[in-house]
């Protein structure tokens, strides 16, 4: 059987670029790595079949430089581009440029990316499909409209950026007194972070769990979901630990959210791999947003469902129907921790040279990383340097395996958040599965906010 593409350029860096390279190799597809001058010695560059330097360290001049990426694809005769996550992974303009240049985009069509990338339009689309959402508004155009929404919906509320995520432009409003000031700050942050000042509000949940659903559509009427992931352990809306399945759901709740997920992607005729994110509190699910790309935490779904999601993503982009039929059941339990080059208390980035490294191993242990002994972590990019994933028959055994693997994980020369993860796995609430999005605040205190 001939490979679906001859050559794929990976428009990304680090561990996700290496992850895509591995999928390409198993499919018999040649891979092209792109890199900035800061990443010339990264493993994704070393293991790709070809590599192209696309610019200096600043992302705007390299990994966010669409002309440079397209030029790299053209000079290497790549017939497809995989965007990974982050950078341009959800940039509809980049996808459109690829289409115009006759380069296959490994992801959903640009129109779907624009729809689900606009949080206000995404909410409306989900409501039309019968997906539960929190009481909220459209784009707010004035302080008066915001105060009227507060009276109608009730407090507390949360302001969110229509065009983005990751906590930027996000403010909790406890009452009308400071609403105007918080609205102005949120709009300013949204403009700076996403080039769009539009914000909206919705009811704020005080102790939710963050539950997301892995979904896919093949563009030929085939839709499937691969269960849920628990992503409640996060700091400033940035995920730190994820697991599958969630300890909070029973079979009835799992079937319910699965049906909701399928209803959502059928309603928008979704194609490619994607993730629907929900808040879950007091037995109720509420749609939050959709990510139209592969997720950092896709690994735990792969471990418990035995599906290579990057492979599926590539095959569906080549026009093949999904081979996932019916409702698959999870096998065991998987947990992922994000290992970041940062101070474990202040969470400040800590780039530098790794002077010694030991990666954990053994049964049920997976490490996705691009680092190695003597590797220099650049100060220019996201601080994540590795993902540690463990899998076992059930959650207690997975936690025990995670604790063992963390004790073996050694990174010297820089600071990492490994001590933070070791604290988490000893916490009674974590051991019992008593989680919500404020877990880290309870663990670390005020400095976590």
| Residue keyed to tokens 């102790």 | 207
| pLDDT at residue number 419 | 97
Exposure letters 2-14 (e unless 16+ CB within 10 A, then b)? ebbbebbbbbbbb
Could you give the C-alpha distances from 308 to 32, 255, 302, in angstroms and in order? Answer: 20, 23, 6
Token pair belonging to 134? 């929190």
- List per-residue pLDDT tens for the chain, 449 residues long: 788 999 999 999 999 999 999 999 999 999 999 999 999 999 999 999 999 999 999 999 999 999 999 999 999 999 999 999 999 999 999 999 999 999 999 999 999 999 999 999 999 999 999 999 999 999 998 999 999 999 999 999 999 998 877 677 889 999 999 999 999 999 999 998 888 999 999 999 999 999 999 999 999 999 999 999 999 999 988 999 999 999 999 999 999 999 999 999 999 999 999 999 999 999 999 999 999 999 999 999 999 999 999 999 999 999 999 989 777 889 999 999 999 999 998 999 999 999 999 999 999 999 999 999 999 999 999 999 999 999 999 999 999 999 999 999 999 999 999 999 999 999 999 999 999 999 999 888 766 65
CATH (residue range 209-448): 3.30.470.20
Token pair belonging to 292? 């139209």
CATH class of the domain comprising 135-203: alpha beta
Q: HSE, CB side, 13 Å, CA atoms: give it for residue 45.
A: 15
Contact between 136 and 110 under an 8 Å Cβ cutoff? The reply is: no
Give the single-character DSSP code of 434.
-
| pLDDT at residue number 237 | 86
Contact between 334 and 243 under an 8 Å Cβ cutoff? The reply is: yes
| CATH 3.30.470.20 domain residues, the chain | 209-448
Query: CA angle 374-375-378, nearest 5°?
Result: 140
Alpha helices in 129-241 (DSSP H): 143-153, 179-194
| pLDDT at residue number 405 | 98
| CATH 3.40.50.20 domain residues, the chain | 7-106
Contact between 99 and 110 under an 8 Å Cβ cutoff? The reply is: yes
Contact between 208 and 285 under an 8 Å Cβ cutoff? The reply is: no
19 among known catalytic residues:
no
User: CA 62, CA 68: separation in Å to the nearest integer?
Assistant: 7
Query: 293, 311, 366, 395: which one is catalytic?
Result: 293
User: CA 190, CA 418: separation in Å to the nearest integer?
Assistant: 31
CB atoms within 10 A of CB 339: 25
Beta strands in 75-127 (DSSP E): 80-82, 104-105
| pLDDT at residue number 238 | 92
Exposure letters 294-325 (e unless 16+ CB within 10 A, then b)? bbbbbbbbbbbbebbbbbbbbbbbbeeebebe
Strand 30-36 and strand 50-55: pairing? parallel
| CATH 3.30.1490.20 domain residues, the chain | 135-203
User: CA 18, CA 340: separation in Å to the nearest integer?
Assistant: 17
Instruction: Please name the fold of domain 7-106.
Output: Rossmann fold (3.40.50)
Contact between 171 and 159 under an 8 Å Cβ cutoff? The reply is: yes
Concatenate the DSSP letters of all residues of 210-234 into one string.
EEEEEEEEESSS-EEEEEEEEEEEE
């Amino acid at each position: 059987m001939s490979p679906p593409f001859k050559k794929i350029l990976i428009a990304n860096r680090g561990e996700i670029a290496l992850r895509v390279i591995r999928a390409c190799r198993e499919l018999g597809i040649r891979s092209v790595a792109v890199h900035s001058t800061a990443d010339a010695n990264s493993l994704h560059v070393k293991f790709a079949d070809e590599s192209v330097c696309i610019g200096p360290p600043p992302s705007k001049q390299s990994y966010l430089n669409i002309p440079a990426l397209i030029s790299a694809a053209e000079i290497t005769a790549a017939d497809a581009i995989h965007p990974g996550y982050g950078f341009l992974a959800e940039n509809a303009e980049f996808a459109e440029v690829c289409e115009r240049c006759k380069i296959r985009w490994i992801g959903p069509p640009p129109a779907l990316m624009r729809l689900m990338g606009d949080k206000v339009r995404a909410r409306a689309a989900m409501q039309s499909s019968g997906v539960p959402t929190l009481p909220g508004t459209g784009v707010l155009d004035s302080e008066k409209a915001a105060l009227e929404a507060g009276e109608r919906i009730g407090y507390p509320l949360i302001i969110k950026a229509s065009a983005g995520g990751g906590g930027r432009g996000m403010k909790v409003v406890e009452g009308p007194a400071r609403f105007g000031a918080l609205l102005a700050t949120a709009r300013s942050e949204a403009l700076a972070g996403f080039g769009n000042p539009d914000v909206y509000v919705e009811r704020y949940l005080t102790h939710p769990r963050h539950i997301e659903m892995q979904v896919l559509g093949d563009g030929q009427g085939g839709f499937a979901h691969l269960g849920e992931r628990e992503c409640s352990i996060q700091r400033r809306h940035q995920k730190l630990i994820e697991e599958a399945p969630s300890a909070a759901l029973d079979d009835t709740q799992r079937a319910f959210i699965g049906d909701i997920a399928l209803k959502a992607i059928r309603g928008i005729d979704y194609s490619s791999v994607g993730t629907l994110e929900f808040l879950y509190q007091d037995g109720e699910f509420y749609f939050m947003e959709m990510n139209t790309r592969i997720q950092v935490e896709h690994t735990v779904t792969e471990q418990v469902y035995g599906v290579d999601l990057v492979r599926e993503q590539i095959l569906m982009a080549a026009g093949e129907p999904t081979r996932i039929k019916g409702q698959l059941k999870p096998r065991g339990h998987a947990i992922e921790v994000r290992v970041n080059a940062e101070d474990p208390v202040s969470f400040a980035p800590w780039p530098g040279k790794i002077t010694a490294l030991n990666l954990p191993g053994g049964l049920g242990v997976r490490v996705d990383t691009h680092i190695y002994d003597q590797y220099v972590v650049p100060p220019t990019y996201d601080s994540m340097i590795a993902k540690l994933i463990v899998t076992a028959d059930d959650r207690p055994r997975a936690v025990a395996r995670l604790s063992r693997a963390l004790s073996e994980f050694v990174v010297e020369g820089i600071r990492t958040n490994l001590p933070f993860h070791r604290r988490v796995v000893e916490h009674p609430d974590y051991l019992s599965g008593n989680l919500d999005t404020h877990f880290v605040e309870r663990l670390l205190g005020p400095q976590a906010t």
